[in-house]
Amino acid sequence: MAQTRRSSVAAADLLAPLTGEEISAAVGILTEERELGAKSRFAGVYLNEPPKEKVLAYKSGEEAPEREAFVIVLDGSNGETYEALVSLTQGKVNSWEHAEGAQPSIMLDEFDECERATKEDPEFREALKKRGITNLDLVCVEPWSAGFYGDDDGDDDKRRLLRTLVYTRLEPGDNPYAHPVDDLVAVFDLNSMKVVRVEDFGVVPVPQEKGNYTPEAVGQMREDLKPIEITQPEGPSFELNGHEISWQKWRFVVGFTPREGIVLHNVTYRDGDRERSVLYRASLAEMVVPYGDPDPVQYRKNAFDAGEYNIGALANSLELGCDCLGEIRYLDAVMADSRGNPLPIKNAICLHEEDFGLLSKHTDFRTGQVDVRRSRRFVASFIATVANYEYGFYWYFYQDGTIEFEVKLTGIVSTAYASPEESPKYGQLLNKEGLYAPIHQHLFNVRLDLDIDGRENSVYEVHTEAEPIGSENPHGNAFFAKPTLLKSEKEAQQVVDSMAARYWKVVNPSVKNAVGEPVGYKLIPHGNVLPFAQPESHIVKRAGFATKHFWATPYKPSELYAAGDYPNQHRGGSGLPEYTKDDRPIENEDVVIWYTLGSHHTVRLEDWPVMPMQYAGFKLQPIGFFDQNPSLDVPPPGGNGHCHHGG
């Protein structure tokens, strides 16, 4: 195979995602060298990032580090999983390892194949017939990950399984989630492409009331909305060079993987004549959606949408004026299908800037002098559809040095049947026919490899305490922020305490600001929640990362995912609980912090038939990183300073 060595590339290109041509080349090299057969499937083909130290030391003009593809191969003949590193630089396989016992994420075409094969199964058809359903063209078989619950029969743990939920339409184009065919599950083996068994918990009514939400179904639309035009006649204020963004004083690389979606690399802020490092890598490290209904069908609904489904591969192709509004630039993403063919997603990443209200304002009441600065933020986002739900993932960069991560949740709630004569304990009735949506949670974990002015950082927990009345507080009014150095991984495992105004900060002890304190950034929680499932439950064992909001680990390049490399059908204990079991020191280390954020969804009637947007997130805010407000040089609005006036 011909070599594709590049003697020199731009530093940002080292972290650019694989192109379609590179995916094809990697698959071709691996197929030829390992003599892969027709039953081999490619569960992932994406960039194997060069070592951190090489990326940070690299200068344009030098010989570039080797460009490699990381490839996950599922051998369909024996169900075994293998990991390969393929050198695109040298045109050869650098490594091939057996990932013993691992089940890779479910591939897109496996969903389609499962639905088709399930509909052909005689036992499944008979179960539908018992419910009066004979038109298979209207039946929707929705594959869900099988998980692990310790109650499986026979050799289920040796199979590659899906558990299907079933819905039906009343007519083509109808919303199937309005008509769950409840208490019917087909357990499906993806290796044999056959139904293992049909679990029929009894015939219950299929709700018939429609739940359509398109303008055609709704009818009369509001007529009192005037147009809002967002224009930038001179173009946007950011520059896009390949995958590198330069906006205001920020500079960073936007990557993308099938598992994580957007990945931010090498985030820096220009402070005077210094370009200062803030983040080396940031990404979604896992998410899980546990449902709170003990019903025999509903309790199995616990999807790890990143590790089990590859949420990045489920990204939408975004449309101007619909998903993104303004002067937009897009980046495409290229995934691989299970046969190793490039699968482009056009306009997967939306890049733009937007007005964000006031940045600062002060009126000198003595002189009438008013100073106003308007805030503008840069947005990098993508939206993924995971069956019934849509998730929007947004990274915001602000002019004052703040970074924010926000998840927006919409789509359609997962539905079931409950007796309309009773008020269900574990969810909400949506109509009088028994359409029902269980209570559930969405728990996300974000991995943040912070490099605050360099790689050697320390972590503090900071909360506020009231000073007891005494000689230091004779009037009872005193309170103060108390920092505590977190010296090891176990000390760092913490939860949000909003009543104590708790936050966590990462500092560089060797770099001091104007008052002699170490420079830092702090993580500020927004609203949050912990799992309500019991600690001994299988879902909590498998999603151990969700039991704490805050974790910190010393940097290790192989530790990327909060629930481990292969959560699909894993029994639990992997990921952050395993990473931190040795209680490694984190003081003055190249430290990585992990933050779990949650959205608690007690379903409302107003969430049906399509859910208004819900939000969850956090902020990274400079704390002593700058010597003063870094946004003082943002000009007043209007260009002519008309808001900067005297009374």
| SS3 labels along 366-426 | CCCCEEEEEEEEEEEEEEEEECCEEEEEEEEEECCCCEEEEEEEEECCCCEECCCCCCCCC
CB-based contact 251:268 (threshold 8 Å) = yes
CB-based contact 175:212 (threshold 8 Å) = yes
CATH topology of domain 11-98: Nuclear Transport Factor 2; Chain: A, (3.10.450)
Q: Which residue has the tokens 């002015």?
A: 453
Statement: residue 4 has pLDDT above 60: no
CATH topology of domain 238-458+492-622: Beta-galactosidase; Chain A, domain 5 (2.70.98)
Q: Catalytic pick from 174, 182, 189, 305? A: 305
**How distant, in Å, are the alpha carbons of 163, 247, 322, 638 from that of 325?**
39, 18, 7, 21
Report which residue type is found at 60.
S
Return the CATH number of the domain spanning residue range 108-218. Answer: 3.10.450.40
Q: Give percent of the chain with pLDDT exceeding 90.
A: 94
Statement: residue 9 has pLDDT above 80: yes
| SS3 labels along 557-603 | CCCCCCCCCCCCCCCCCCCHHHHCCCCCECCCECEEEEEEEEEEECC
Residue 43's pLDDT band (cuts 50, 70, 90): very high
Region 497-506: what's the mean pLDDT?
98
> Catalytic: 46?
no
pLDDT at 646: 42
CB-based contact 611:407 (threshold 8 Å) = no
Q: Choose among 444, 443, 441, 445: nearest CA to 600.
A: 441
Strand partners, 330: 350
**Chain segment 209-226, per-residue pLDDT in tens:** 999 999 999 999 999 999
Sketch the domain layout of the chain as residue ranges.
Answer: 11-98, 108-218, 238-458+492-622
Q: Does 108-218 match 238-458+492-622 in CATH topology? A: no
Statement: residue 470 has pLDDT above 70: yes
Residue 377's pLDDT band (cuts 50, 70, 90): very high
**Chain segment 85-120, per-residue pLDDT in tens:** 999 999 999 999 999 999 999 999 999 999 999 999
Statement: residue 339 has pLDDT above 50: yes
Query: CA-to-CA distance for 595 and 406, rounded, in angstroms?
Result: 12
pLDDT at 154: 62
pLDDT at 152: 62
Counting Cβ atoms within 10 Å, is residue 470 exposed (0-12), middle (13-18) or buried (19+)? exposed
**Chain segment 19-29, per-residue pLDDT in tens:** 999 999 999 99
**Chain segment 449-466, per-residue pLDDT in tens:** 999 999 999 999 999 999
Tokens coding 169: 């339409």
pLDDT at 158: 79
Neighbour count for residue 6 (Cβ, 10 Å): 11
pLDDT at 644: 47
Statement: residue 368 has pLDDT above 80: yes
**Chain segment 472-489, per-residue pLDDT in tens:** 999 999 999 999 999 999
Q: Is 299 helix (H, G, I), strand (E, B) or coil?
A: helix
Q: What are phi and psi of 513, to 5 degrees?
A: -95, -170
**Chain segment 138-188, per-residue pLDDT in tens:** 999 999 999 999 876 667 777 999 999 999 999 999 999 999 999 999 999
pLDDT at 157: 74
Q: Choose among 627, 576, 452: nearest CA to 523.
A: 452
Residue 3's pLDDT band (cuts 50, 70, 90): very low
CB-based contact 451:519 (threshold 8 Å) = no
Strand partners, 116: none
Q: Lowest mean pLDDT: which of 7-21, 184-198, 294-308, 440-454?
A: 7-21
Counting Cβ atoms within 10 Å, is residue 636 exposed (0-12), middle (13-18) or buried (19+)? middle
Q: Choose among 104, 108, 124: nearest CA to 195.
A: 124
Contacts of 360 (CB under 8 A, 6+ apart): 371, 372, 373, 629, 631
Q: Catalytic pick from 280, 291, 309, 389? A: 389
Residue 642's pLDDT band (cuts 50, 70, 90): low
Region 507-529: what's the mean pLDDT?
98
Region 544-554: what's the mean pLDDT?
98
Buried b (16+ CB within 10 A) or exposed e, 211-248: beeeeeeeeeeeeeeeeeeeeeeeebebeeeebbbbbb
**pLDDT top residue among 1 and 107:** 107
pLDDT at 639: 57
Residue 8's pLDDT band (cuts 50, 70, 90): low
Strand partners, 74: 41, 81
CB-based contact 462:481 (threshold 8 Å) = yes
What secondary structure does DSSP assign to 75-101, as a single string? ETTTTEEEEEEEETTTTEEEEEEE-TT
pLDDT at 153: 60
Q: Give percent of the chain with pLDDT exceeding 70.
A: 97
Q: Choose among 447, 445, 426: nearest CA to 616.
A: 445
**Chain segment 49-95, per-residue pLDDT in tens:** 999 999 999 998 899 999 999 999 999 889 999 999 999 999 999 99
Q: Which residue has the tokens 């007005």?
A: 355
Q: Choose among 19, 17, 18, 9: nearest CA to 58.
A: 9
Most distant CA atoms of the chain, gap in Å: 85
CB-based contact 635:643 (threshold 8 Å) = no
Report whether the peptide linkage leading into residue 609 is cis, meaning its omega lies within 30 degrees of zero. Answer: yes
**Chain segment 381-438, per-residue pLDDT in tens:** 999 999 999 999 999 999 999 999 999 999 999 999 999 999 999 999 999 999 999 9
Q: Which residue has the tokens 């929640």?
A: 529
- Predicted structure pTM score: 0.97
Q: Is 365 helix (H, G, I), strand (E, B) or coil?
A: coil
Tokens coding 441: 């949670």
Region 523-540: what's the mean pLDDT?
97
**Chain segment 584-627, per-residue pLDDT in tens:** 999 999 999 999 999 999 999 999 999 999 999 999 999 999 99
Q: Is 241 helix (H, G, I), strand (E, B) or coil?
A: strand
Q: Which residue has the tokens 């927990």?
A: 461
pLDDT at 643: 57
Say how many CA atoms lie within 13 Å of 526 toward its Cβ. 14
> Catalytic: 394?
no
Our CA angle for 95, 96, 98, nearest 5°, is 140
CB-based contact 373:360 (threshold 8 Å) = yes
pLDDT at 150: 86
Length of the chain: 647
pLDDT at 149: 92
CB-based contact 299:540 (threshold 8 Å) = no
pLDDT at 156: 75
